[in-house]
Amino acid sequence: MKNQVFFTGLMLFSLFFGAGNLIFPPLLGMESGGNFAPAMAGFLITGVLLPFVAVLAVATVNGGLVSIGSRVHKIFGVAFAVVIYLSIGAFYAIPRAANVAYELGFHQFYTGGGQWTLVLFAALFFGASYYICLNPKKLVQRVGQLLTPMLLIALAILFVRAFFLLDNSTGPVTEKYLHNPIVTGFIEGYFTMDAVAALAFGIVVVNALKDSGVKTKREQLKGTMIAGIIAAAGLAAVYISLGWIGAVMPGTAELTNGAEILTAASQLLFGGTGSILFSAIVILACLTTCVGLINASASFFQGLYPKFSYKFYVRVLTVAGFAISSLGLGIILDIAVPILVFIYPVAIVLMILSMLQPVLGNGKTMYRVSVALTVVYAVYDVLASLGLHMDGVAQVIGFVPFFDLGLGWVIPAIIGALAGYAWDKFFIRKPVQVQEQ
């Protein structure tokens, strides 16, 4: 069982570590400069701690994500779960993984071919993903025991070389990280999508442990916690290393994103072969994440509507991901910000309340009031991200702390949870059990 849990932890790390995880930390390091430590601390909260909490939250309850959302309302539970799985599935994260693998991986050493090259690459990429996902019971073996070690070896080669060749002097702090670097890093961690993806990956871990013979709930929770710690430790180490490379990398003044930073670092450290190493890291990272997303989404929809088989949903998600990825990375990324701005606050509130359930109980008012207030601010932030600035609304709801930072939902969510908890505890009458004579 120990070996199975260990490789499940490696699989979970690999599922998390995709395109965004690779390109955001170096950019954070470059832009934060001397404020790298607090900025990275904020990034690790949303990039490592919250995903770990989400995996545990899903493993704790029966029914996974739907059960967590159903504490607000049954319809909300199903609807929110569907939105989560569609956003991390065929409509965004799956095609994004293929496009990033093409743009930052394959395109590094082959620049010709145009649109048809993207289509051909996507066909091969999704063909490999489809084959790996066909048998979910072999997911740990194919990802945790094969693909993840290959990814870790490629990353280790880059990090060790950088440690010995790069100086430990950071660059200047940009305006973005000059004030409140922790908060800025916290928000940047949104874009990894790990806390949202963890709500899906949690059930993948539980199913993997079940398939390996772990039957009792207690053993599943213990195995999930150990696997989560392994994945979290790996992610934290990789994020800090990637961020450090961005912070100490020389000649970054003209670089604009994490992909350019890592490409330049690979070429500086390894010469002409650097592009090949970087391409291998990107393609492996994107492939393992795509496999996890297809598996998790197919398992969810098969459980929600079991009339169709798991393999049917794998085919649908693979074909849909291929079709959308053919549109190009630019169009896909345009829809990312509104989705993340809405989903993340609600997901964070739900997972924290779920983890605190043993202490706070499962009163529905607590969930409903807290989520309702969170949704108000999330909707406003979505509209603002689309360019619809509503000054009148901002005057009404903008008095709360952190509003200007995009975190206006935090205090209302806490107050709503406390008020709902008090209402459930002191004003909701519990049925009196009559003892039989």
Concatenated DSSP letters of 150-179: HHHHHHHHHHHHHHHHS-S---PPPGGGTS
Residue 341 lies in a domain: no
Output the CA–CA distances (angstroms, integers) from residue 16 to 40, 126, 157, 207, 305, in the order listed.
Answer: 18, 18, 20, 17, 26
Mean pLDDT check: name the lowest of 22-31, 141-150, 200-209, 413-422: 141-150
370 with 413: CB under 8 angstroms? yes
Residues 328 and 375 in one domain: no
Mean pLDDT check: name the lowest of 72-76, 201-205, 225-229, 238-242: 201-205
Q: Which two tokens stand for residue 109?
A: 């050493």
Residues 213 and 256 in one domain: yes
Mean pLDDT check: name the lowest of 117-126, 297-306, 334-343: 334-343
Residue 339 lies in a domain: no
- pLDDT at 326 exceeding the cut of 70: yes
- In 3D space, the residue among 165, 147, 143, 166 whose CA is nearest the CA of residue 155 turns out to be 147
Residues 61 and 123 in one domain: yes
* pLDDT the model gives residue 226: 92
More confident residue, 189 or 61: 189
Residues 140 and 233 in one domain: yes
Mean pLDDT check: name the lowest of 261-270, 271-280, 352-361, 407-416: 271-280
* pLDDT the model gives residue 232: 92
Residues 99 and 202 in one domain: yes
Which range is most confident: 38-42, 76-80, 210-214, 430-434?
38-42
pLDDT tier for residue 101 given thresholds of 50, 70 and 90? confident
Residue 231 lies in a domain: yes
Residues 417 and 364 in one domain: yes
Residues 304 and 414 in one domain: no
Count of domains in the chain? Answer: 2
**Boundary residue ending a domain (274, 302, 334):** 334
Residue 433 lies in a domain: no
- Mean pLDDT over residues 6-35, rounded? 83
* pLDDT the model gives residue 429: 56
What is residue 43's three-state secondary structure?
Answer: helix
Alpha helices in 250-363 (DSSP H): 258-270, 274-304, 310-325, 329-334, 336-355, 357-360
Q: Which domain holds residue 391?
A: 356-425
148 with 14: CB under 8 angstroms? yes
Rg (CA), the chain: 22
Which range is most confident: 3-12, 259-268, 301-310, 351-360?
301-310
Cα 314 from Cα 299, distance rounded (Å): 9
- Mean pLDDT over residues 46-53, rounded? 88
Residues 295 and 254 in one domain: yes
Cα 249 from Cα 25, distance rounded (Å): 13
pLDDT tier for residue 127 given thresholds of 50, 70 and 90? very high
Residue 432 lies in a domain: no
More confident residue, 374 or 343: 374
Residue 416 lies in a domain: yes
Cα 13 from Cα 145, distance rounded (Å): 12
Residue 349 lies in a domain: no
pLDDT tier for residue 86 given thresholds of 50, 70 and 90? confident
More confident residue, 57 or 377: 377
Residue 347 lies in a domain: no
Residues 307 and 388 in one domain: no
- What is the DSSP annotation of 59-123? HHSTTHHHHHHTTT-HHHHHHHHHHHHHHTTTTTHHHHHHHHIIIIIGGGT---STHHHHHHHHH
Residues 251 and 128 in one domain: yes
* pLDDT the model gives residue 308: 93
* pLDDT the model gives residue 434: 46
- pLDDT at 90 exceeding the cut of 80: no
Residue range 138-157, pLDDT digits in tens: 666 666 667 777 778 878 88
- pLDDT at 40 exceeding the cut of 90: yes
265 with 250: CB under 8 angstroms? no
- Mean pLDDT over residues 380-384, rounded? 84
Q: Match 């979290």 to its residue by tokens.
A: 232
* pLDDT the model gives residue 182: 92
Residues 180 and 276 in one domain: yes
CATH of the domain at 53: 1.20.1740.10
Mean pLDDT for the chain overall: 82
Residues 241 and 107 in one domain: yes
29 with 242: CB under 8 angstroms? yes
Residue range 349-367, pLDDT digits in tens: 888 888 787 787 778 899 9
Cα 11 from Cα 205, distance rounded (Å): 9
